[in-house]
Amino acid sequence: MELKESILELLRRAATDLSPDVEAAIRKARDKEDEGTPARNVFDTIIENVEMARKQSTPMCQDTGSLVFYIDFPVGDTEKKYRDAIEWAAKEATAKQYLRPNAVDPVTSKNSGNNVGVNAPYIHFHQWDKDEVRIRLLLKGGGSENVGTQYKLPHQPINAGRDLKGVRKVIIDAVTKAQGLGCAPGTLGVGIGGGRDTSYTLSKEQFFRKMGQRSERKELAELEVQLLEDLNKLEIGPMGFGGKTTVMDVFIAAQDRHPATFYVAISYNCWAFRRKSMTIKEGEVYYD
């Protein structure tokens, strides 16, 4: 398969076929809700929709998101090769209705109509020593992006200080403010430390973890487990209708900060948590 066609298939899979680990988390959440409650009905509708989308090969959600790629490529390859293939695939996927046209010029408000524009799709490039290519894709919905937020500690209104206790508080605050608006139940990516830009970048990269995959740092892994319990006590529930599952998982990572700054960036992903990856090895394409 040609590179551009393999990327088109990656886009199709991401938009139409929810990953098994995410679907399992949704089914588990459904089983916790009582028969006849709005929460249970929402989960039933979500599951029916996921099955239909997979069968019909149509987007599970009409907001097919902003396209964010993460590419690890071997020495000798050029970025241009991948950029050209991605732009072709984005246009083709839009024409085939796997994607909605979601690239809008903020100056003229004109939609490009094909998901290609300035920094759209956005591509993170990384050269590595391996002799293979890894292409990871996140389709990031706009509604959930709008409830993402960044805190600067200390954060006075809730007495959140410059430590993990403070981090816990601002995450609870962010999810409470988000209510159902990010299409709950959500999955959180949290980046602690770094600058304004890199804390968000780190938070988004966490979305490539599998559901239930804990941080390798003991303190952060404990905080993830604690927060999962705390946040589901809020009873915001699916779509904000009330219920036992408000978030499906919390992924936290930390990076060194400047002595004067302490940022916590929180990225929220909707239940339609769409991320897929593929590897190209000796000319063969493998999808996760």
Partner 1 sequence: MIKLKTPISEEEIRKLHVGDSVLLSGVIVTARDAAHKLMIEERPDFIREALKESVIYHCGPVVKKDENGNWQFVSAGPTTSAREEPYQADVIEEYKVRGIIGKGGMGPKTAAGLQKSGAVYFHAVGGAGTLIANAVKKVRTVHKLEEFGTPEAFWVIEVEDFPVVVTMDSHGKSMHKEILEKSTKIAEELMG
Return residues touching partner 1 (CB under 8 A).
Answer: 38, 41-42, 45-46, 48-49, 52-53, 56, 58-64, 97, 99-102, 104, 109-111, 113, 141, 143, 146, 158-159, 169, 172-173, 176, 179-181, 183, 230, 233-237, 239-242, 270-272
Amino acid in position 2: E
Please report, for the chain, how many H helices and E strands are present, in that order.
8, 9
**Closest separation between CB of residue 223 and partner 1, Å?**
14
Closest CB to partner 1 among 3 and 174?
174
**Closest separation between CB of residue 80 and partner 1, Å?**
29
Task: Supply angle C-alpha 267, 182, 265, rounded to 5.
Answer: 15
Closest CB to partner 1 among 41 and 201?
41
Q: CB-based contacts of 250: which residues, under 8 Å, 6+ apart?
A: 171, 187, 188, 190, 224, 227, 228, 231
**Closest separation between CB of residue 101 and partner 1, Å?**
6
Name the nearest CA neighbour of 65 among 96, 92, 90: 90
**Closest separation between CB of residue 126 and partner 1, Å?**
30
Q: How far is it, in rounded angstroms, from Cα 238 to Cα 143?
A: 15
